[in-house]
Amino acid sequence: MAVLTIRDALNQALREEILRDENVFIMGEEVAEYDGAYKVTRGLWKEFGDKRVVDAPITELGFAGLGVGAAMAGLRPVIEFMTWNFSVLASDQIINNAAKMLYMSGGQFNVPIVFRGPNGSAFQVSSQHSQSFEAFYANFPGLIVVQPSTAADAKGLLKSSIRDDNPIIFMEQETMYGMKGEVPDDEDFLIPLGVADVKREGKDCTIVARSFTVPQALKAAEELEKEGVSVEVVDPRTIKPLDIDTIVNSVKKTNRLVIAEESHPFASVGAEISHQVMERAFDYLDAPIKRVSCVDAPMPYARKLEVLALPSVEKIVKAVKEVCYL
């Protein structure tokens, strides 16, 4: 296995899928000559040229619409948003065309398209560039929502997304591109969509974490182990469809649940998970479910306030101790 950053794992997945399928192409702002705002598409334009790696002007609605049309015509576009915050401008094409076309056409048109880019907080990019959109897009039928947390997951899930016949919302995390991990060398390495992963096994409490909070949850589990608390960490990886069975089975074993997420708390994915666990495993819970989220306020610019606003290892440890009555 190679050790790659998440950035390079995504780049490898894109390159392999372009080589594998002549219908795959990438389009977005600065993805070609500039190698991408976060260098995920580094070197691809030089290798594959203008037809496979296409620079778009600053018009998210326009190039998202071009991508939807291309997908309906049989191509497999990968549309990069410089940040998911900018996808708001393209949301009409994503929600009203990409998500609904299969239904509205009576099954005549698939839309095999991947919308991808960084989601969530970064480093002092303030209120308009620090938002998490997974719950927003997961609310609309017809969209698959993916959030990888490791280099291997990033590669395997992106390759599966490109090969899927449905529109995919693929959300990376802006501060995690440099994180390293082992990645299988197999060019056909795929991770199925809709399957959660138990990142760490335990018996006293379950933490469900995704993307930004997975490394935090694993670190919290290490610290809690020193105090005799055994924590299981479950990463859904795909937000919709949600592998609720893996989460419920973990809760049935540990009898406690903490959900750690970067998004705001109201109407979040964590709220949905809480609801489904209450429906399916209420009698197994020995304590109320706790959630650790971003504060319910716009993200501040000041670094110290930004850190206070976000989930942290310390907040997760505190929540686990509360549900374990420690």
pLDDT for res 123: 86
C-alpha–C-alpha distance, residues 92 and 76, integer Å: 20
Q: Is 129 a catalytic residue?
A: yes
Count of CB atoms within 10 A of residue 203's CB?
13
Helix ranges (DSSP H) in the chain = 6-20, 44-48, 60-72, 91-92, 101-104, 134-138, 151-163, 213-225, 244-254, 269-281, 303-309, 313-323
- Residue 35: pLDDT band with limits 50, 70, 90: very high
Assess whether pLDDT exceeds 90 at residue 1: no
Residues pairing with 24 in the sheet: 76
User: Greatest CA separation found in the chain?
Assistant: 59
In our burial notation (b when 16+ CB lie closer than 10 A, e otherwise), range 284-311 reads ebeeebbbbbbeeeebbeeeeebeebbb
Q: What is the pLDDT of residue 77?
A: 98
> Could you tell me the CA-to-CA distances from 12 to 45, 151, 228, 238 in Å, in that order?
14, 11, 40, 20
The distance from CA 64 to its chain's CA centroid, rounded to whole angstroms, is: 19
Distance separating alpha carbons of residues 27 and 19, to the nearest angstrom? 16
Task: Please state, in angstroms and rounded to a whole number, the distance separating the CA atoms of residues 316 and 291.
Answer: 9
* CA–CA gap between residue 169 and residue 240 (Å, rounded): 10
Question: CA-CA distance, 233 to 160, in Å (whole number)?
Answer: 23
Q: Are 101 and 116 in contact (CB under 8 A)?
A: no
The residue from 16, 29, 129, 261 that is catalytic is: 129
Reported pTM: 0.97
Give me 143's structure tokens.
């969209």
| Distance from C-alpha of 100 to C-alpha of 109, rounded to nearest angstrom | 10
pLDDT band at 271 (very low <50, low <70, confident <90, very high): very high
CB 138 within 8 A of CB 240: yes
- Domains of the chain by range and CATH? 2-183 (3.40.50.970), 197-323 (3.40.50.920)
Among 269, 297, 155, residue whose Cα is nearest residue 210 = 269
- Mean of the per-residue pLDDT values for the chain? 97
What per-residue confidence (pLDDT) applies to 253? 98
CA distances for 107 relative to 110, 113, 127, 131, 166, angstroms:
7, 16, 40, 34, 12
Cα separation, 87 vs 83, in Å, equals 7
The string of pLDDT tens digits covering residues 137-166 is: 999 999 999 999 999 999 999 999 999 999
pLDDT digits (tens, 9 = 90+) for 181-201: 999 988 899 999 999 999 999
pLDDT digits (tens, 9 = 90+) for 80-118: 999 999 999 999 999 999 999 999 999 999 999 999 999
pLDDT at position 168 is 98
Considering only CA atoms, give the Rg of the chain: 20
Q: Choose the catalytic residue: 17, 60, 134, 174.
A: 60
AA identity, residue 122: A
| Rounded percentage of the chain residues whose pLDDT exceeds 90 | 97
Give backbone dihedrals phi and psi of 51, rounded to 5 degrees, phi first: -80, -20
* pLDDT tens-digit map of 273-318: 999 999 999 999 999 999 999 999 999 999 999 999 999 999 999 9
**pLDDT-based confidence at residue 61 (cuts at 50, 70, 90):** very high
- Cα(26)–Cα(76) distance, integer angstroms: 9
Q: What average pLDDT does this structure show over 44-65?
A: 97
60 is catalytic: yes
Query: Would you state the pLDDT for residue 187?
Result: 87
Give the mean model confidence (pLDDT) for residues 33-39: 95
